[in-house]
Structure 1
Amino acid sequence: MTNRITSLFNIEYPIIQAGMIWASGWKLASAVSNAGGLGLLGAGSMYPDIFREHVRQCKAATSNPFGVNIPLLYPDIDKHIEIILEEKVPVVFSSAGNPKTWTKLLKDNGVRVVHVVSSSKFARKAEDAGCDAVVAEGFEAGGHNGREETTSLVLIPAVKAAVSIPVIAAGGIATGRQMLAAMVLGAEGVQMGSRFVASQEASSHQAFKQAVLDSVEGDTVLTMKQLTPVRLIRNAFYQQVMDAEQRGASPEELKTLLGRGRAKKGMFEGNMEEGELEIGQVSALVHDILPAGEIVKKVWQEFSEALGNPIGKL
């Protein structure tokens, strides 16, 4: 397939691996890029020196394009931007902040810039800032989420109608049929996170990967809406948060409860009770841990088969 997304990134398939914290290191990103998709490093969980090392390892492991995902509110964002420019990273996906801050500098240096949005309003702002594309991320997505709670089925066509730049769909996508549905709604590519957490190359802890496989519908909940909304698997930490919110805890109390390193403790170190376990609703459809390249090929095959027989067996 050739469309605006494959042309923009010079990739074979319009399949993008989300830059998830504690899961998306150089092994995962390079494997996805080598398979014809676009792999992203998750810079949000990397100190600058670690980030530079992952960029260099990824460059050594693939000759294909790859990118990085950077939360714009990250405290060392200026150092990360400097590394991106020095190492000539070709693609940046930004999130959680104002895209106007860094987009012009990045584009002036030849970087393709994509911003993650949860509403048509923010999609228009990203287009006005000069972004090359937007990711329309629905309420179903894992990790930090928009406050609007708009589902992908509504968000994708709304964003498509609001902007002229290409739209990448995210949130609730792990199969080729879901990819086809997103494309029918107006997307020109998809970004998948939860499906790639359950890959052999993901740096997340094996216990967390198993928790993803074990999850069923209703096991994830969008919580911490007073701070930054985040979708989590239900566990002891989640229950502490819910109890605090139900008794009317202030944002300051919730920040104290959250503390530091909760996501690392859960997703990277494997503490399934006290850690923060970020994953999307689509984890209920993920049943195996596969090589990342095989995931790309499988999703593309499912998409192609569904495209030829859209009302066939689900």
Structure 2
Amino acid sequence: MNRICELFSIKYPIVQAGMVWCSGWELASAVSNAGGLGIIGAGSMYPEVLLKHIQKTKANTNFPFAVNLPLLYPSIDEHIAIIIAEKVPIVFTSAGNPALWTNTLKQAGIIVVHVVANTKFALKAIDAGVDAIVAEGFEAGGHNGKEETTTLCLIPKIVEAVKIPVIAAGGIASGKSMLAAFALGAEAVQIGSRFAASVESSAHQNFKNAIIEAKEGATKLSMKKLTPVRLLNNNFAQTIYTAEENGASKEELSKLLGKGRAKAGMFEGDMQNGELEIGQVAANFDAILPASEILNEIWKEFLAEKEKLQRLKF
């Protein structure tokens, strides 16, 4: 039995990432209904909005789902209270110290998974008592690790360092890449960019179109002086790149970023002045599909490629 499937009580070891402005109740429930683990991205939600999305997810799926909770979120105590009150079964934490809330969540009977980008923080997550780890490589969209360690290098390093299940993330959007992650020691994959461009994604249609039109080299990791984020190239990204090349300070970059920039781009569809967070793997697909179809295609390809490798003779 796959440890992640057993831990989450899901059919397939495929997790949909909790992406800001893309991962609402429709996407989370669609992925869970298809046999994976759907996740609500709480990082862009006020407490009352999160409550609505949790309740709608519960109304639209009878299968397990999760909430992704950035630990630096200013209203996190309210989010935690809602998650516990609504009996959310699984929480993925990220962007902060897992020691702050892991025990509180586990005492409420919640499974806790933490997202890391290096071995140091993986070990801290172990000390905090998490049940599984997401190891996210440099290829990933959204917020990323400063070390720029690729998935191919990161996964085996973390698998070697911990005994709990590891979920691979970053650059995974197909059965082939899923199989590669398993070969490196992962027991599940977390997929963001491919689901961001799904029918049920809450992203603006303009952003979905931009994702599937993206070519190689269309994204770049930026703003390492603030919180590293991988951006799709547009006017805003070019402004950031230029500022960084000119040695802009943390304060100057923060001023350029302003407020509501990610919402403007990914949720409201401003393709030139908004912040567009997406992974390198966006260059690898070219169609907006239902989440269930995406998941089924990935799983079928995973099995087919696994069988093909088993037939190889050396």
Sort the TM-score into its range (normalised by shorter chain). Answer: over 0.9
| Structure 1 counterpart of 2:121 | 122
Deviations 1:201-225 (A, max 9, x none): 0000011001101111100000011
Alpha-carbon deviations, 1:120-145, whole Å to 9, x = none? 11111101110000000000000000
Aligned-CA RMSD value: 0.9
Does residue 79 of the first structure (1) align with residue 74 of the second (2)?
no
Task: State the Cα distance separating 1:11 from its structure 2 match.
Answer: 0.1
Q: Deviations over 1:229-248 (max 9, x none)?
A: 10000110001111111111
List structure 1 segments (4+ residues) > 3 angstroms apart after TM superposition.
none
Alignment partners' CA distance in 2, 1:100 and 1:244: 35
> Mapping of 1:71-220 within 5 angstroms?
71-220=70-219
Match of residue 288 from structure 1: 287
Distance 1:310 1:120 in 2: 30
Partner secondary structure for residue 53 of structure 2: helix
1:311 positional shift: 8.6
Distance (Å, rounded) in 1 between the aligned partners of 2:228 and 2:21:
18
TM-score, normalization by structure 2? 0.98
Secondary structure of the 2:40 match is strand
For 2:301, the equivalent position in structure 1 comes to 302
| 8 Å CA contact 1:22, 1:267 repeated in 2 | yes
Equivalent AA in structure 2 for residue 81 of structure 1: I
Superposed, 1:49-88 pairs within 5 Å as: 49-88=48-87
Gaps of 5+ in 1: none
> Does structure 2 retain, via aligned residues, the 8 Å contact 1:198–1:286?
no
- Which residue is 1:254 aligned to? 253
Structure 1 residues 182 and 297: CA distance shift in structure 2, 3 A: same
Please state if 1:29 is matched with 2:4: no
2:5 match: secondary structure: helix
**Matched residue, 1:41:** 40
Q: TM-score, normalised by structure 1?
A: 0.98
Identical aligned pairs, as a percentage?
A: 63
- Distance in structure 2 (CA, Å) of the matches to 1:282 and 1:222: 13
Deviation at 1:310, TM superposition (A): 2.7
Q: Which 5+ residue runs of structure 2 have no aligned equivalent?
A: none
Number of aligned positions between the proteins: 311
